[in-house]
């Protein structure tokens, strides 16, 4: 059976109005990673970190999924094999576009997490410093997102999927953040064909068998059409 493993990044949500991280004017041009996306930054100034994620939660709640998200949902539904979507994105646009079983390796804005007892719950629209964990009462609640220096979620399951992949696609990701940036090498070792769909060649574009350039809302639906058309 064929198995397609798809890794997505901020570029797939760009045309839904959500800013990427490293494009001109992107989130990391406006905020210091050390301040808002590390455990040390949260320990130093939790109010600043909550403000950053509260704003992203508001923005993500307003965003609508686009034709690229919908095309991947269609692929998951109609492909006569398995289609696994792994996303680095913390928005829920794959799900609102109709996808099921999305692996959120960098967590999700929709979740809150208590580092004291590992309890997880649905985040309120706005999180505040000192909010008590509903399970243990500790006042250390944080967004359920993965920060730099932390291990992404579901890594064992992802590596198992990559070991079985017959096709690996990376969509809308700059290939600068590990371990996701190394998935293409895992897939190649498994004998998978590899394809990148991005606005411009990513840092690791030379590792892919094929590179398709253009906006995701155009390239992804036509790539999916090709995979679903009878061979």
23 sits near ligand OAD (criterion: CB under 6 A): yes
Asked if 216 touches ligand OAD (CB under 6 A), the answer is yes
Q: What is the 3-state secondary structure (H, E, C) of the chain?
A: CCEEEEEECHHHHHHHCCCCCCCCCCHHHHCCHHHHCCHHHHHHCHHHHHHHHHHHHHHHHHCCCCHHHHHHHHHHHHCCCEEEEEECCCCCHHHHCCCCCEEECCEEEEEEECCCCCCEEECCCCCCCCCCCCCCCCCCCEEEECCCCCCCCCHHHHHHHHHHCCEEEEECCCCCCCCHHHHHHHHHHCCCEEEEEECCCCCCHHHCCEEEECCHHHHHHHHHHHHHCCC
CB of 126: closest distance to ligand OAD in angstroms?
20
Nearest-CB residue for ligand OAD: 11
For position 41 contacting ligand OAD by CB under 6 A, the verdict is no
The answer to whether the peptide bond before residue 179 is cis (omega within 30 degrees of 0) is yes
Candidates 50, 69, 94, 106; catalytic one: 106
In angstroms, give the least distance from the CB of 53 to ligand OAD.
11
Under rule CB under 6 A, which residues in 94-113 are in contact with ligand OAD? Answer: 106
Q: Is 146 in the site for ligand OAD (CB under 6 A)?
A: yes
Nearer to ligand OAD, 12 or 165 (CB): 12
Least distance from ligand OAD to the Cβ atom of residue 150, Å: 8
> Of these, 22, 31, 119, 193, which contacts ligand OAD (CB under 6 A)?
22
The minimum distance between CB 214 and ligand OAD, in angstroms, equals 7
Is 84 a binding residue for ligand OAD by CB under 6 A? The answer is no
- CA dist 96 and 98 (Å) reads 5
Output the smallest distance, CB 73 to ligand OAD, in A.
17
Residues taking part in catalysis? 106
Binding site for ligand OAD (CB under 6 A): 9-11, 14-15, 20-23, 26, 37, 88, 106, 146, 148, 172-174, 176-177, 198-200, 202, 215-216
């Amino acid at each position: 059976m064929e198995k397609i493993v798809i890794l997505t990044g901020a570029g797939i949500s760009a045309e839904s109005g959500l800013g990427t991280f490293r494009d001109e004017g992107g989130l990391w041009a406006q905020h210091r990673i050390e301040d808002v996306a590390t455990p040390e930054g949260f320990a130093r100034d939790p109010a600043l970190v909550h403000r950053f994620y509260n704003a992203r939660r508001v923005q993500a709640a307003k965003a609508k999924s686009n034709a690229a998200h919908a095309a991947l949902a269609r692929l998951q539904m109609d492909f006569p094999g398995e289609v696994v979507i792994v996303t680095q994105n913390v928005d829920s646009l794959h799900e609102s576009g109709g996808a099921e079983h999305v692996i959120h390796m960098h967590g999700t804005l929709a979740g809150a997490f208590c580092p004291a007892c590992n309890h997880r719950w649905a985040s309120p629209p706005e999180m505040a410093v000192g909010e008590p964990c509903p399970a243990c009462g500790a006042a250390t609640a944080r967004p359920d997102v993965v920060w730099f220096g932390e291990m992404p979620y579901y890594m064992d399951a992802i590596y198992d999927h990559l070991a079985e992949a017959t096709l690996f696609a990376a969509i809308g990701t700059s290939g600068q953040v590990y371990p996701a940036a190394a998935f293409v090498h895992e897939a190649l070792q498994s004998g998978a064909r590899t394809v990148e769909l991005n606005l411009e060649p990513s840092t690791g574009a030379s590792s892919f068998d094929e590179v398709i350039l253009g906006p995701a809302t155009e390239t992804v639906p036509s790539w999916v059409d090709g995979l679903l058309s009878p061979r």
